[in-house]
Amino acid sequence: MAEENEQMEVQPPANQVPSSKNPLLTILVLVNTIAMAGIAYFQFMSHQKFAQFESVQDLVKEQGTGEAEAEGDAPVLDGEAKKMGGKPFPLEGFTANLAQGDGPRRFVRLTTVLMISDDSSQEEFNRRKPQIRDSIITTLNGKRPEDLLNVEGKNFLKEEIKAAINAFLVDGRVIDVFYTSFQIN
């Protein structure tokens, strides 16, 4: 019976795991800490490198005060709006289908104001309003949604609309196109 008691004390129970530290876990924590410190160092060095460059605001201030004061004019960045030549010609809203791309049919809702030259006659624009609307809708029908989702695409659309309308005007011309609402569904 004494032998059985000695055997029981020597053997650990089957459901109990011997307690020993896992060196793999310690190594992983150490490697992770070193990696995070390295990333923090490179972020800091990158920030220091970019802090040495002049910002866009600094360049604009230098350019605005340098050129304008040299010419004797008021500074460019004095907060006053420039007077634009031309007369506004508002158009009613447009709803036009966009070119079929991948996916469901998409359309655009657009409200525009045309800035026409001062020497343009309002009567010509009123007479040609259906032709103006048709040229804008035709231009919109050729566009895909991806073409109009970024700023460059919207600016390119303005130029296309302006060129399409100026192609058939006799007395006047369109100086600029302004979007008062622009929605793609």
Tens of pLDDT, residues 82-129: 566 788 999 999 899 888 766 788 889 999 999 998 888 888 888 999
The domain locations on the chain are 23-80, 87-184
Confidence of residue 158 (pLDDT cuts 50, 70, 90): very high
Q: What is the pLDDT of residues 13-52, one digit of tens each?
A: 556 655 567 889 999 999 999 999 999 999 999 888 877 7
If residue 41 lies in a helix (H) or strand (E), which one and from where to where? helix 23-51
Question: CA–CA separation, 6 vs 29, rounded Å?
Answer: 41
Sequence-ordered strand ranges (E) for 36-165: 87-90, 94-97, 107-116
Give the pLDDT score at 185. 86
Residue 161, H or E segment: helix 151-166
Q: Based on the number of CB atoms within 10 Å of its own CB, is 108 exposed (0-12), middle (13-18) or buried (19 or more)?
A: buried
Q: Are 89 and 172 in contact (CB under 8 A)?
A: no
Q: Which fold has domain 87-184?
A: Tetrahydropterin Synthase; Chain A (3.30.479)
Reported as a pLDDT band with limits 50, 70 and 90, residue 70 is very low
Instruction: Give the predicted TM-score (pTM) of the model.
Output: 0.54
Least confident of 76-85, 123-132, 138-147, 171-180: 76-85
**What Rg do the C-alpha atoms of the chain give, in angstroms?**
35
Q: d(Cα 90, Cα 111) in Å, to the nearest integer?
A: 8
Partners of residue 107 on adjacent β-strands: 97
Phi, psi angles (nearest 5°) of residue 16: -105, 130
| Mean pLDDT, the chain, integer | 80
